[in-house]
Structure 1
Amino acid sequence: MHITDKDVIYEDNHYIAINKRAGDIVQVDNTGDKSMEDMVKEYLVKKYQKPNGAFVGVIHRLDRPVSGMILFAKTSKGLDRMNRLFHDRKVSKTYLAVVRNRPPQSQGTIKNWLLRDRKKMITKAYDREVKGGSFAQLDYEVLGEVEGYTLLKVIPLTGRTHQIRCQLAYMNCPIVGDNKYGYPRGSLRRTICLHSRALTFIHPIKEEPIYIEAALPMDGFWEKFNVLL
């Protein structure tokens, strides 16, 4: 596995954005599979002929079965400043999710307290404050339907582990393929229909507005939803 020019959707002196394939891991885990962090390093070393290696900083993460836009830092200065933007919630994240059950309203806000079950490696949602839990909020909008599936635009206003997956399932709208959160069957490719669509922020070094958008995967299913975008 490696990254090519067609996977890169944005690059400047400080950052590089990749359209992640569902199934790729962002950082090394106990599987020993090659990580995107390492793939980006290899790409930069080859592209810019850096025999001593390249700096790559992980700014945010996407779950392994999720596809779409992910941003890496190419400099320590870029990493520090972008981390600050994420911490201060000055980065707007947009996701697309495909669900089978249409939400009760065409648009709305979901608010929960989320508690991580580290033994089962899942997140549980509650409608009240719970000890050890974290408040989570997201906005969603129905973009339309294709062949009985509903496409949602989702904007998480907080950044919790498995937040979108957990909160949509709490609304009885589990993401297609996400049997970990209640969808009746998993994908044979171990992917789910959740796509990191875009990031919007003010560049912390160049101080100009940035909008980065990732095209939908070309996997025979996601293409159906391009007509709704």
Structure 2
Amino acid sequence: MNIPILYEDNHLLIVEKPVNIPVQEDNSKDADLLTILKQDLKVRYQKPGNVFLALVHRLDRPVGGAIVFGKTSKAASRLSDMIRRHTIDREYLTVVHGRPKQKKAKLEHYLLKDNRKNKVSVESAKHPNAKKAILEYEVIDSKEGLSLLRVKLHTGRSHQIRVQLSTIGHPIYGDQKYGQKLNQPGQQIALWAHTLSFEHPVRKEPLSVKSAPPETFPWDLWRFM
């Protein structure tokens, strides 16, 4: 599998995750991104034994785009700390049904994950196990009953963007889990990890990478991307 490399040095590996593959091994036993990349590093650099590569954040299986891995334990530890402190800017592009009333807004919900069903629900802030989820969105453009949004995550909850946008009445195009009433089986979810920006964990220099969505519907409605 050809995985596009967006940035690589001795400490980091940032790639463009293909859609519909898990980031790490799961119960499906399908080929996963972490294993594929470890094997690629082993071959490219002719490394004996096991290759170190650390997963520090995740993307849902159907979602594609930019994702960063740590190639050393020092880099991985610092990246994980940056994720916890929300100092890595993660920006997504998504296409939703309809047009949100507000061009820009911050959404705050309390989310609860059912691990057995692998589904997330919005709960009261008083629920003992619900976790606060915050994102900001901006409507870039609307056409043909769909809207292109830029989304910035402030927290990294499971299925967060999908659940929060569905909750305000604008499910993501192709999302079978949180938009069954508007989406058709077989449609690909239109959610893409577009930008990662952060301070290099070792060199302390600013680093930013971008990954463009595929030129397929509904992304191709916006040719400027």
Give TM-score scaled by structure 1 length.
0.92
TM-superposed CA distance for 1:141, in Å, is 0.2
Please give the residue correspondences for 1:1-229 in structure 2 after superposition, counting only pairs within 5 Å: 2-4=1-3, 7-126=4-123, 128-184=125-181, 185-188=183-186, 191-227=188-224, 229=225
Q: Quick one: which amino acid aligns to residue 108 of structure 2?
A: K
Matched letter for residue 163 of structure 1: Q
Q: How many residues align?
A: 224
Residue 78 of structure 1, CA deviation: 1.0
Deviations 1:108-148 (A, max 9, x none): 11111111122322111136432211111110000102433
Distance 2:215 2:185 in 1: 16
- CA deviations on 1:12-31 (whole Å, 9 max, x unpaired) are 11111111111011000011
Cα distance in 1, alignment partners of residues 86 and 97 from structure 2: 31
Matched-pair contact (CA < 8 Å) for 2:95–2:218:
no
Secondary structure of the residue aligned to 1:38 is helix
| Separation (CA, whole Å) in 2 of partners of 1:136 and 1:221 | 27
CA offsets 1:150-179 (integer angstroms, 9 cap, x no match): 100001111111110000000101001112
Among the aligned pairs, what percent are the same residue? Answer: 36
- 2:14 partner amino acid: A
The CA distance in 2 between the partners of 1:78 and 1:3, in whole Å, is: 25
One-letter identity of the residue aligned with 1:172: G
User: Aligned equivalents of 2:220 and 2:44: distance in 1?
Assistant: 30
Sort the Cα spacing of 1:44 and 1:78 in 2 relative to 1 into closer, same or farther, 3 A: same
Cα deviation code 1:73-128 (max 9, x no counterpart): 11111111111111111111101110112111111111111111223221111364
Return the structure number with greater helix share: 1
Distance in 2 between residues matched to 1:12 and 1:81, nearest whole Å: 15
Runs ≥4 residues deviating over 3 A: 126-129, 218-221
SS of 2:77 mapped into structure 1:
helix
SS of 1:181's partner is coil
TM superposition score normalised by structure 2: 0.93
Q: Is the 8 A contact 1:145 1:151 kept in 2?
A: yes
Preserved contact between residue 56 and residue 76 of structure 2 (Cα < 8 Å): yes
Alignment-mate amino acid for residue 188 of structure 1: G
The Cα shift of 1:48 comes to 1.3
For the 8 Å contact 1:146–1:225, the answer to whether it is kept is no
2-side partners of 1:183 and 1:221: how far apart? 17
Checking the alignment, whether the CA contact within 8 Å between 2:98 and 2:146 is kept in structure 1 is: yes
Name structure 2 gaps, 5 residues minimum. Answer: none
Q: Give structure 1 stretches of 5+ with no counterpart.
A: none
Q: Is the contact between residue 175 and residue 183 of structure 1 (CA under 8 Å) also seen in structure 2?
A: no
Equivalent pair of 1:175/1:192 in contact (CA under 8 Å): yes
